[in-house]
């Protein structure tokens, strides 16, 4: 089949690789350079975990993990740092309880730790006496930009054509085919996969997709003391279910330690995002760190802005476009999707070529919005 992939971030680069490897005539369109910093797939680290308060996502991660291992092997690169992870909150927190139930349901090993046990294992991280943590050893972080670049490089090795700095302006169903138009050309394809993230609404304005794009900011703070406590072998990735912050050990790429709030930032237009540092967000992060990570200083060594493309229910969109069955839309990762991107790319490539994914995806259909 002749297939186009529009948007070569985490999901699009994976779809491009899977399609090219399967022998399809596949073309990727990216409006910036692959690996750019304007969307949702860039950065040195993104959490990967089984710990979800949702059984379907936990089960889907069982499908994603082998695909990440396969990408690492094919790319001959270290893309996944397994440092373990803790998901913590008040003992009676509904999300912590649901996450534990999901781990049990899926037969995944974990340890339930009290605050003292967490401090003994990860002395940089401070829990309150009324909190508990679920430790899962397979958690860690993905080197996100490097994952995107690896997918794209392997896709071209398998014969994919990749057009960078080429914005797609319109996508139109033409009978059994699909027309893809850029500023300089139009081309007809058998199938099209659109993984355009924050730019999805602009491409499909007539669908009135309920996507809300928000500005998010991450921060790195300098380590003031006990730098050993922040090494990946000692500090796991962590998620504070109660307060919404999450963080990483020292990633070895940027001075300091990265963390951020998962709470939604200000709504924004992807073409007009404030890229400068927001001192209010930074101040809240510093205040949080002073309690949870007291060995960090208040000195910011680095900060960066990225985008969330959010659905109202925080579930993904994986569906055919209405009235255009040869166009597949994959979007709405809602700030928790990077760990799934290799799987989402695989699913998109499978469905677009008339294959079947073993799990029920009806939950991700567009019909739920109408």
Decide if 344 is inside a domain.
Answer: yes
- Residue 204 and residue 319 in one domain: yes
Decide if 52 is inside a domain.
Answer: no
- Residue 295 and residue 333 in one domain: no
CATH of the domain at 303: 3.30.9.10
- Residue 156 and residue 118 in one domain: no
- Residue 303 and residue 335 in one domain: no
What is the pLDDT at residue 180? 98
Out of 260, 276, 310, a domain closes at 310
Q: Provide the token pair at 193.
A: 């996969």
Does residue 323 surpass a pLDDT of 90? no
Task: Look at phi and psi of residue 17 and say left if phi exceeds 0, alpha if psi is from -120 to 50, else beta.
Answer: alpha
- Residue 288 and residue 150 in one domain: no
- Residue 150 and residue 95 in one domain: no
- Residue 27 and residue 108 in one domain: no
Does residue 139 surpass a pLDDT of 90? yes
- Residue 279 and residue 202 in one domain: no
Decide if 75 is inside a domain.
Answer: no
Out of 267, 288, 310, a domain closes at 310
**CB environment 183-207: b (16+ within 10 A), e (fewer):** eeeeeebbbbbbbbbbbbbebbeeb
Decide if 64 is inside a domain.
Answer: no
Decide if 121 is inside a domain.
Answer: yes
* Strand, helix or coil for residue 258: strand
Decide if 345 is inside a domain.
Answer: yes
- Residue 272 and residue 364 in one domain: no
pLDDT band for 370, please (50, 70, 90 cuts): confident
- Residue 100 and residue 133 in one domain: yes
Out of 271, 289, 310, a domain closes at 310
CATH of the domain at 323: 3.50.50.60
Mean pLDDT of 143-157: 98
* Arithmetic mean of pLDDT over the chain: 97
What is the pLDDT at residue 305? 97
Q: pLDDT tens for residues 45-74?
A: 999 999 999 999 999 999 999 999 999 999
Mean pLDDT of 307-336: 96
- Residue 166 and residue 30 in one domain: yes
Mean pLDDT of 40-46: 96
Decide if 318 is inside a domain.
Answer: yes
What is the 8-class DSSP label of residue 236? Answer: P
Instruction: Using alpha carbons, list the distances in angstroms from residue 321 to 153, 208, 364.
Output: 29, 12, 13
Decide if 69 is inside a domain.
Answer: no
pLDDT band for 116, please (50, 70, 90 cuts): very high
Q: pLDDT tens for residues 347-356?
A: 999 999 999 9
Does residue 15 surpass a pLDDT of 90? yes
pLDDT band for 261, please (50, 70, 90 cuts): very high
Contact indicator for 197, 39 with CB cutoff of 8 Å: yes
Half-sphere exposure of residue 57: CA atoms within 13 angstroms, side-chain side: 21
> Domain span at residue 182?
2-44+145-208+313-369
Does residue 109 surpass a pLDDT of 90? yes
Domain total in the chain: 2
- Residue 182 and residue 285 in one domain: no
Q: pLDDT tens for residues 198-232?
A: 999 999 999 999 999 999 999 999 999 999 999 99
């Amino acid at each position: 089949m002749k297939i186009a992939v529009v948007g070569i971030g985490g999901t699009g680069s994976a779809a491009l690789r899977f399609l090219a490897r399967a022998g399809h005539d596949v073309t990727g369109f990216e409006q910036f350079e692959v690996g750019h910093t304007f969307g949702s797939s860039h950065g040195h680290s993104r959490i990967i975990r089984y710990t979800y308060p949702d059984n379907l996502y936990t089960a889907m991660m069982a499908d994603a993990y082998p695909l990440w291992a396969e990408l690492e092997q094919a790319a001959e690169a270290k893309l996944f740092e397994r440092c373990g992870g803790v998901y913590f909150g008040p003992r009676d927190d509904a999300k912590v309880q649901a996450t534990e139930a999901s781990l049990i349901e899926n037969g995944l090993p974990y340890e339930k730790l009290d605050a003292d046990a967490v401090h003994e294992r990860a002395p940089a991280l401070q829990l309150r006496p009324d909190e508990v943590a679920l430790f899962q050893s397979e958690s860690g972080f993905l080197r996100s930009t490097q994952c995107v670049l690896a997918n794209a490089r392997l896709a071209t090795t398998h014969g994919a054509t990749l057009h960078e700095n080429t914005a797609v302006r319109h996508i139109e169903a033409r009978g059994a085919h699909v027309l893809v138009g850029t500023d300089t050309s139009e081309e007809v394809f058998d199938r099209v996969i659109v993984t355009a993230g924050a730019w999805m609404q602009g491409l499909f304005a007539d669908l009135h997709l309920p996507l809300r794009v928000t500005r998010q900011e991450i921060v790195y703070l300098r380590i003031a003391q006990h730098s050993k406590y922040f090494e990946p072998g000692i500090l796991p990735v962590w998620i504070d279910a109660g307060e919404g912050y999450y963080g990483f050990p020292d990633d070895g790429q940027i001075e300091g330690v990265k963390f951020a709030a998962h709470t939604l930032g200000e709504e924004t237009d992807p073409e007009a995002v404030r890229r400068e540092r927001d001192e209010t967000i930074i101040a809240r992060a510093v205040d949080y760190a002073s309690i949870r990570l007291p060995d960090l200083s208040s000195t910011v060594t680095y900060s960066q802005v990225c985008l969330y493309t959010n659905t109202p229910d925080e579930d993904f969109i994986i569906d055919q476009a209405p009235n255009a069955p040869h166009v597949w839309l994959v979007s709405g990762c809602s700030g928790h999707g990077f760990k799934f991107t290799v799987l989402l790319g695989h699913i998109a490539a499978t469905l677009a070529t008339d294959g079947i994914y073993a799990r029920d995806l009806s939950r991700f259909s567009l019909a739920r919005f109408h």
